[in-house]
Amino acid sequence: MVIGADISAAMLGAARDRLPRSYRAIVTDGQALAFQDASFDAVVSQLGLMFFPDPARGLAEFRRVLRHGGCAAVCVMWGVLAETLSRHLPEQREALHFSFSLAQCPRLEAMLGAAGFREVKVTRETRYGIVESFDEYWAAIEAGAGQLPLIYLSLPEQERRAVREEVRAGLSPFEKNGRLEMSVEMLIGAGRA
């Protein structure tokens, strides 16, 4: 059985189409998971931890719900949109910049260790991806799935337009013949309970 846990019901719904029928969606805060101790064989957290106000608490929760010997794997990333939004919303700068504070191997390694994980390993990975156009990239942001898009959508229209143009300028070095050829860096951390 696969349980999808996210604070956003919309995000869990989007996952439903891509997962087996045994998938169950549970709306829950990753920092206070609505599951019993030692009830999972594995926890996979993809591009979520960097948005938790207290990522250390999130890791402690991942550890708590794992059976002895079970594994957790987390993936964290950072980017141009967080940078741009924090210029427009200085009061949310700290929340938006959690992503950057988690962007160092030793920091994530120490946090996994402090949460009680053994055999901790953190690697920096680079992935290349092609998006057919900036408009296609931006359509996903306008769709509002995920924390940064939701923060973006809370801005007045004029400011949203300014953010769009700033992000477009920030991504221009990756633009080739109208397509965006982007390389993104991420950290993959893993540990055993």
Q: Which residues sit at the interface with ligand SAM, rule CB under 6 A? A: 6-8, 11, 29-31, 46-48, 51-52, 146-147
At residue 76, φ and ψ (nearest 5 deg) are -125, 150
Q: Which of 113, 131, 111 is nearest to 175 (CA)?
A: 131
CB of 3 to ligand SAM, least distance (A): 13
Cβ proximity to ligand SAM: between 7 and 155 the closer is: 7
CB of 164 to ligand SAM, least distance (A): 18
Nearer to ligand SAM, 30 or 189 (CB): 30
36 or 69: CB nearest ligand SAM: 36
Indicate the helix (H) or strand (E) that contains 77. Answer: strand 66-77
Q: How far apart are CA 25 and CA 12, in angstroms?
A: 6
Q: How far is the CB of 177 from ligand SAM (least distance, A)?
A: 28
Cβ nearer to ligand SAM, comparing 12 with 68:
12
Q: In angstroms, what is the minimal distance from the CB of 13 to ligand SAM?
A: 11
Contact 30, 49 (CB under 8 A): yes
Note every long-range contact of 144-151, with CB atoms under 8 Å and residues 24 or more positions apart, other chains counting. 144/10, 145/8, 145/10, 145/11, 145/14, 146/8, 146/11, 147/51, 148/81, 148/82, 148/85, 148/96, 151/85, 151/89, 151/92, 151/96
- Give least dist CB 116 to ligand SAM, A: 20
Given the complex with ligand SAM, which of 20 and 69 has the nearer CB atom? 20
Q: What is the DSSP letter of 89?
A: -
